[in-house]
């Protein structure tokens, strides 16, 4: 049975790659434990991964891929996950907020006009992710049917300027 994309699967792979030293994220200027890595997965899309890392342990991460343009501005899909031992401490909300600021800082100079959009598609039963999206994107999501899984989901979107 199809399911929504689970960012925790990528989180586990990211932690393993960091442990193996096969990736070398670089520190961000504004936050002491925030690191970023840009890559191109098999799909060919550009991906930016932001992570809170301490002593080579990933506490939480947020992954952005540009999906298209909306109202003439770039639109990025975001997925986020937190290591089990760091859940219920606000790290997911913090990583989304911090990474949106860093993304804004990093791409603003390349935009033709200010601002971009960030969206998240969250499963109906994923209450923890719904809370994060409501705190960071919008508290008024739209009910949709996910285009990949065909399952009902909530769609959150925010313009970042």
Overall number of domains in the chain: 1
pLDDT in tens, 48-59: 999 999 999 999
- Looking at residue 156, its pLDDT comes to 98
Tell me, yes or no, whether 1 lies in a domain: no
Tell me, yes or no, whether 89 lies in a domain: yes
Tell me, yes or no, whether 57 lies in a domain: yes
Tell me, yes or no, whether 23 lies in a domain: yes
Domain hosting residue 114, numbered range? 7-160
Tell me, yes or no, whether 2 lies in a domain: no
Tell me, yes or no, whether 85 lies in a domain: yes
Mean pLDDT of 29-40: 92
- Looking at residue 142, its pLDDT comes to 98
Mean pLDDT of 100-126: 93
Residue 105 belongs to domain with CATH number: 3.40.630.30
Tell me, yes or no, whether 14 lies in a domain: yes
Mean pLDDT of 133-138: 98
Tell me, yes or no, whether 91 lies in a domain: yes
pLDDT higher than 70, residue 1: no
Tell me the pLDDT of the chain averaged across its residues. Answer: 94
- Looking at residue 139, its pLDDT comes to 96
Map the chain to HEC letters. CCCCCCHHHHHHHHHHHHHHCCCCCEECCCCCCEEEEEECCCCCCCEEEEEEEECCEEEEEEEEEEEEEECCEEEEEEEEEECHHHCCCCHHHHHHHHHHHHHHHHHHHHCCCCCEEEEEEEECCCHHHHHHHHHHCCCCCEEEECCCCCCEEEEEEEEEC
- Looking at residue 122, its pLDDT comes to 97
- Looking at residue 42, its pLDDT comes to 75
């Amino acid at each position: 049975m199809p399911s929504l994309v689970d960012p925790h699967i990528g989180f586990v792979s990211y932690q393993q790659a960091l442990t193996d030293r096969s990736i070398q994220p670089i520190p961000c200027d504004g936050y002491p434990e925030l690191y970023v890595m840009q890559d191109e997965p098999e799909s060919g899309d550009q991906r930016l991964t932001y992570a809170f890392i301490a002593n080579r342990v990933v506490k939480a991460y947020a992954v952005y891929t540009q999906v298209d343009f909306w109202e003439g501005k770039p639109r990025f899909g975001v997925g986020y996950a937190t290591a089990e031992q760091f859940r219920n401490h606000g790290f997911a909300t913090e990583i989304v907020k911090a990474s949106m600021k860093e993304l804004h800082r990093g791409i603003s100079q390349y935009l033709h006009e200010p601002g971009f959009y960030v969206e998240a598609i969250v499963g109906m039963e994923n209450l923890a992710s719904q809370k994060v999206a409501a705190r960071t994107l919008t508290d008024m999501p739209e009910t949709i049917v996910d285009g990949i899984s065909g399952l009902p989901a909530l769609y959150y979107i925010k313009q970042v300027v």
